[in-house]
Amino acid sequence: MFLDGEASNNKMSAEQAVQNIRTMKKLAVDEYVKVSQVKSLFSRWAKKLKLGTLEKLEDIQESEEDASEDESDDGQYHDDIARESSELIKAMNVDEWVAVFYEANWYPGIVQNVSGSDGVVYVVCMVRCMGENFFRWPDREDLLDYTMDDILCTIDPPEPSGQFHRGSPVLFFARDVLEKVDAELSKKNLNI
């Protein structure tokens, strides 16, 4: 789907891709993906394609060509869809820094686990202190499960501020991280 759209300049929207995935009869419900997951994957692939770093581009092209050459082979098409679905879940890496949206605010955190079967990402989050871009680790670990819709974006790790709050080091995020998070909040029409 992705490479066909790139080649023909007739790109499929994330909504259309999700609909295609959900209409596949050989996929179980737990293999379905969300629109935000498809948008994220397509965005990452587009960036990698632009930079020339899209991994196994030839393999993706070959499998798409095989599927288009033999339209009666629904199995190959289903395999392509399943492969793209699993790519979405693999896109989140353990120990990756992310911004999550929770209770009308965003929080930075580190991915601890990704559950491919239900599309849940487990993130340990920081708490805000001393201003807009200053955070610290809470007294008790704040590990929560989030859906891919709750994950705003990946972010760069924070830097030490040299200050302490309640005995914990205070970390801060660079202005470009805040701008990236604000842009993602705007895309999702989430105002803080």
| Cβ 13 vs Cβ 1: under 8 Å | no
pLDDT one-digit tens code per residue, 148-179 = 888 899 999 999 999 998 888 999 999 999 99
Domain ranges for the chain: 2-90, 97-187
| Cβ 81 vs Cβ 24: under 8 Å | yes
Q: Which H/E stretch holds residue 80?
A: helix 74-90
pTM above 0.75, yes or no: no
107 has a pLDDT exceeding 90: yes
